[in-house]
């Protein structure tokens, strides 16, 4: 598989590089980072702590797409919008793991998906993909008087909050319950007062080197159900992203999710 990685010198870019070089059947035909990044000009393999592979970090995505089968983007929300258009123009599928995307970027993704396969996943791990389905089922099965709260913890460098995964879990719970998805009910207790009925709440912890913990709590009268996932190694996201890339190479234009990749969908 001939891959271009965007956000190549970041934590995830390097985790994907290591996972790909372990797998052995991935060739990096481009490694993109932002203008001015310290890694520009350096060898991707060496940056990942491995022998040199002859692929240097550059900054122009369009210039490296002629030989690419798929792009994997783990960069920043501001970069992803333009990357979608560049990939659509070049006819190259794109896996987007970048989080913090706004509605505008999702609109651009819809347009791009008319020309290329597009997969956007706030969390590319197998475990979270399963958790999303379990949350959807639990929200569908439990009565609406169970309050739903989503708690997430991440390392101190994380830019967006709540995490893209927490929002995806909120969307899955909303789908299951048959209510409109809302993303603005982050708990801060500044306003005081009782918890509004029917709200899906988010609580956020930032600190240390936490790779990513998520718990969805269904809180009823006299009982509670907790569905949790803990990531201890970024390699899980990297392997999932590579699996998604391999899947996407064989698809027709359209929008895809991780559930399509690992065939976990229980939705009707």
| 246 catalytic per annotation | no
Nearest to 114 by CA among 259, 245, 258, 252: 252
Closest contact distance (angstroms) between CB of 121 and ligand NAD is 5
Closest contact distance (angstroms) between CB of 206 and ligand NAD is 12
Q: Report the distance separating Cα 210 and Cα 111, nearest Å.
A: 35
Contacts of 86 (CB under 8 A, 6+ apart): 61, 62, 65
Instruction: Please give the torsion angle defined by the CA atoms of residues 197, 229, 110 and 103, in that order, rounded to the nearest 10 degrees.
Output: 50
Nearer to ligand NAD, 74 or 146 (CB): 74
Closest contact distance (angstroms) between CB of 227 and ligand NAD is 18
- In Å, how far from its chain's centre is CA 252? 21
Nearer to ligand NAD, 37 or 62 (CB): 37
SS3 45: helix
Nearer to ligand NAD, 97 or 117 (CB): 97
Nearest to 91 by CA among 113, 120, 106, 58: 113
Q: Report the distance separating Cα 132 and Cα 170, nearest Å.
A: 9
| 214 catalytic per annotation | no
Closest contact distance (angstroms) between CB of 160 and ligand NAD is 6
SS3 55: coil
Nearer to ligand NAD, 16 or 177 (CB): 16
Which spans of this chain sit near ligand NAD (rule: CB under 6 A)? Answer: 6-7, 9-13, 32-34, 37, 74-76, 79, 97-100, 121-124, 164, 237
Instruction: Please give the torsion angle defined by the CA atoms of residues 22, 26, 28 and 32, in that order, rounded to the nearest 10 degrees.
Output: -80
Closest contact distance (angstroms) between CB of 95 and ligand NAD is 9
Nearest to 129 by CA among 179, 93, 161, 169: 169
The residue from 106, 158, 189, 214 that is catalytic is: 158
Nearer to ligand NAD, 122 or 177 (CB): 122
Closest contact distance (angstroms) between CB of 264 and ligand NAD is 15
Q: Is 94 in contact with 83 (CB distance < 8 Å)?
A: yes
The residue from 154, 214, 229, 246 that is catalytic is: 154
Q: Report the distance separating Cα 122 and Cα 26, nearest Å.
A: 23
Nearest to 211 by CA among 241, 184, 238, 188: 238
Q: Nearest residue to ligand NAD, using CB?
A: 10
Nearer to ligand NAD, 86 or 177 (CB): 86
Q: Report the distance separating Cα 109 and Cα 181, nearest Å.
A: 19
Which residues belong to the active site? 154, 158
């Amino acid at each position: 598989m001939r891959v271009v990685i965007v956000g190549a010198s970041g934590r995830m870019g390097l985790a994907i590089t290591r996972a790909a070089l372990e797998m052995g059947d991935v060739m990096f035909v481009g490694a993109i980072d932002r203008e001015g990044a310290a890694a520009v000009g350096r060898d991707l393999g060496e940056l990942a702590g491995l022998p040199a592979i002859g692929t240097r970090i550059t900054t122009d995505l369009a210039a490296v797409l002629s030989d690419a089968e798929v792009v994997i983007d783990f960069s920043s929300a501001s970069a992803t919008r333009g990357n979608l258009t560049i990939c659509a123009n070049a006819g190259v599928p794109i896996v987007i793991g970048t989080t913090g995307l706004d509605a505008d970027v999702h609109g651009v993704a819809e347009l791009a998906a008319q020309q290329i396969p597009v997969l956007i996943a706030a969390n590319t791990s197998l475990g979270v993909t399963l958790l999303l389905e379990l949350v959807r089922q639990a929200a569908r099965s439990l009565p609406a008087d169970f309050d739903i709260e989503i708690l997430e913890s991440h390392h101190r460098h994380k830019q967006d909050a709540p995490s893209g995964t927490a929002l995806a879990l909120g969307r899955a719970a909303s789908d299951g319950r048959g209510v409109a998805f809302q993303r603005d009910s982050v708990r801060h207790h500044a306003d005081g007062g009782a918890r509004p009925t029917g709200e899906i709440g988010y609580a956020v912890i930032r600190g240390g080197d936490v790779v990513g913990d998520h718990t969805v709590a269904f809180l009823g009268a006299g009982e509670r159900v907790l569905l949790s996932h803990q990531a201890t190694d970024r390699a899980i996201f990297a392997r999932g992203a590579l699996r998604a890339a391999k899947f996407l190479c064989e698809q027709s234009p359209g929008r895809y999710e991780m559930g399509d990749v690992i065939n976990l969908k229980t939705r009707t």
